[in-house]
Amino acid sequence: MPGEPRPDAALGLDGVPHTGEGISPDGHLIEPQAEDFRSASLVPRDPNWFKNAVFYEALVRAFSDADGDGTGDLRGLASRLDYLEWLGIDCLWLPPFYASPLRDGGYDISDFRAVLPEFGSVEDFVYLLDEAHRRGIRVVTDLVLNHTSDAHPWFQQSRRDPDGPYGDFYVWSDDDQRYADARIIFVDTETSNWTYDPVRGQFYWHRFFSHQPDLNYENPEVQEAMLEVLRFWLDLGIDGFRLDAVPYLFEEEGTNCENLPRTHEFLKRCRKVVDDEYPGRVLLAEANQWPADVVAYFGDDAIGGDECHMAFHFPLMPRIFMAVRRESRFPISEILSQTPEIPSGCQWGIFLRNHDELTLEMVTDDERDYMYTEYAKDPRMKANIGIRRRLAPLLENDRNQQELFTAMLLSLPGSPVLYYGDEIGMGDNIWLGDRDAVRTPMQWTPDRNAGFSQCDPNRIYLPAISDPVYGYQAINVEAQLNNSSSLLSWTRRMIEVRKQHPAFGLGSFTELGSSNPSVLAFLRRLASDEGTEDIVVCVNNLSRFPQPVELDLSEHQGCAPVELTGGVQFPTVGELPYLLTLPGHGFYWFQIVRTVDDGEAR
């Protein structure tokens, strides 16, 4: 078709391998293949690694800039892996770094097989992966299955050539009346789930923005093409994917087009590819719904789960904040009691903060009930109602509360996900607007640009935080590394303690009720194959005031709690309820240890 633009014209990827560089005689786009690149070495295989891993979310753009252009990149990130290893991180989670017009934070992917040039190249990614794996750190990234950017060469071909190989890659219709029961997610921006394309002369379906056409999963070739995308990255050595917006893959007339059985069927296919071809790699579902509904994305309970290995537990996070504001454990107790058992091969991901997030102003119950309604809605609605602040400023920079929150994150059921910078108590810049407020450069040193980049400070993608309290001169990794009482050193120590006790990751969870509503106490328990048990008791004072609590530890009569950070043995558990006192916002982690006759812990 002479005179027409090339399908890859919108990508801006000239000079690097990308989709649509050429077209085969039968009309198929030439796409980069994994064999074209070196692949990374792997971490020794452990099928359950994700169940007790500590995750760390880092934004490539914000972490470290190697080439001095003012924007973080994959090489820069790789140069900071020693830090993450020192901190005790097991897995790095990277939000999308694919080629993208960046109209939706990189979730609008224009080429699944190329890296956004400002972040580097596929080779750079393999280098990062290799370096991470050498340190025992795994890497997962986001993958959007539901849609592509409208700049994706697939879409460009689909709109121009309805009869070509990509003609049915998207959901086209002559009118905009089908699937009328599907709600519109971005009500602020979109008026319909259908948009008219003047090139093809038809409407296309999109659950999110109109520049993000939905892929047509009815078409077996789309399913195959997306499985090939998974294989591409898995072949390069990636350890897993966080699957974005999974509930919407299929459409069906007369339904709300969410969570349809065929969507689950496709996830099972993805899982089978992972299990058969790449055992030990994981799929993590992003389904921002109530835990009871999210459980469906773990798949068949009877066989330990056959869809996603992990899913984020979304409602827990705001309730941790609410419970501390309320000085009452009930917001946390309630949501945990409503959280069903998950299949044996699965794990929750839990977090306090991440790059985009729900409002934390849910401290009255009216608002909490409102939250119930909100959670029934869409995963990405949260962007429309989100207040994005970092942990430290949310807690008014109160060190005790930061420690209490982190201690709960590291001890509640699920694998914890830390958000970059929170380990040093970084602040945010609300004047940047809420999207960028929590995405400022990682603060490494008190030097220029916080040690993030050597560039001219005017060139940096976002200015480093520079206010007197949270500014990089005061809050940075270098200063805290040299201070054994810093938040960073404390966080590292707690991660280390967590790793010494597999019950934190793998153990059962039992809340220990007490008559004090301000104290959240629970017991984690794991039986080993050798017949021993790892029993950990965590006691958290959600109140700013000192509190007593009497715990029913009668099951462990004769045993002694040993405090985990210092190893101090507490009095032996007797016939009566076990009395503890906690300072305001204080917490304890104990291991329950049998004592021999002389009362010494064994």
Partner 1 sequence: MSEVPEPSELVSGLVAGLPGWLPNQRWFAGKDRPVLAVRPLRSTVLHDGDPLLVHVMVEVEQQDRREPYQLLVGDRHELPDHLRSSWIGPGYEASADSDATAPLLDLIAGNSRVDTLVFETEPGVQLETGLRARPITSEQSNTSLVFGHQYILKLFRRLTPGPNPDLVRHRALHAVGCEHIAEPLGSITGELAGQPTTLGMLQPFVADAVDGWAMATTSVRDLMAEADLHADEVGGDFAAEAHRLGHAVGAVHSDLDRALGHEQLGPERLAGVVAAMQRRLDAVLTSVPELGAYEAELRAAFDKAVDAEESITVQHVHGDLHLGQVLRTVSGWLLIDFEGEPAAPAEDRVALHSPLRDVAGMLRSFDYAAHQLLVGQPEDHQLARRAMEWSRRNRDAFCDGYAEVATRSVGDPRGHATLLRAFELDKAVYEVAYEHANRPEWLTVPLSSIARITTEGDHQ
> Applying CB under 8 A, which residues contact partner 1?
325-328, 330, 333-334, 337, 363-366, 368, 511, 513-518, 543-545, 552, 554, 575
Nearer to partner 1 by Cβ, of 290 and 330: the residue is 330
- Alpha-carbon gap, residue 213 to 556, rounded angstroms: 58
Say which residues have a Cβ less than 8 Å from residue 596's Cβ, sequence separation at least 6.
602
What is the 8-class DSSP label of residue 283?
A: E
- Alpha-carbon gap, residue 309 to 191, rounded angstroms: 35
Residue 588 is encoded by which pair of tokens? 């304890």
Nearer to partner 1 by Cβ, of 440 and 541: the residue is 541
Cα-based distances in Å from 88 to 49, 83, 422, 493: 14, 9, 15, 9
The DSSP secondary structure of 359-393, one letter per residue, reads -S---SHHHHHHHHHHHHS-GGGHHHH-----HHH
For residue 89, give the nearest of 58, 115, 59, 111 by alpha carbon.
Answer: 58
Shortest CB 338 distance to partner 1, Å = 8
Shortest CB 326 distance to partner 1, Å = 6
Nearer to partner 1 by Cβ, of 443 and 518: the residue is 518
Do 153 and 19 touch, CB atoms closer than 8 A? Answer: yes
For residue 207, give the nearest of 177, 168, 247 by alpha carbon.
Answer: 247
Which amino acids are annotated catalytic?
Answer: 244, 286
Do 213 and 205 touch, CB atoms closer than 8 A? Answer: yes
Do 101 and 116 touch, CB atoms closer than 8 A? Answer: no
Shortest CB 580 distance to partner 1, Å = 16
Shortest CB 578 distance to partner 1, Å = 13
Do 45 and 279 touch, CB atoms closer than 8 A? Answer: yes
Backbone φ and ψ for 281, nearest 5 degrees, come out as -90, 160
Nearer to partner 1 by Cβ, of 188 and 396: the residue is 396
Shortest CB 532 distance to partner 1, Å = 24
Nearer to partner 1 by Cβ, of 163 and 341: the residue is 341
Nearer to partner 1 by Cβ, of 193 and 339: the residue is 339
Residue 184 is encoded by which pair of tokens? 């519109």
Shortest CB 364 distance to partner 1, Å = 6
The DSSP secondary structure of 211-276, one letter per residue, reads TSPBB-TTSHHHHHHHHHHHHHHHHHT--EEEEETGGGS---TTS-SSS-HHHHHHHHHHHHHHHH
Shortest CB 396 distance to partner 1, Å = 12
For residue 10, give the nearest of 232, 199, 204 by alpha carbon.
Answer: 199
Q: Which residues of 237-267 are buried (b: 16+ CB within 10 A; e: fewer)?
A: bbbbbbbbbbbbbbbeeeeebbbbeebbebb
- Alpha-carbon gap, residue 297 to 534, rounded angstroms: 30
CB atoms within 10 A of CB 472: 29
Nearer to partner 1 by Cβ, of 162 and 577: the residue is 577
- Alpha-carbon gap, residue 590 to 553, rounded angstroms: 12
Shortest CB 395 distance to partner 1, Å = 12
Helix (H) or strand (E) holding 277: helix 261-277
Nearer to partner 1 by Cβ, of 136 and 599: the residue is 599
Shortest CB 80 distance to partner 1, Å = 37
Nearer to partner 1 by Cβ, of 157 and 518: the residue is 518
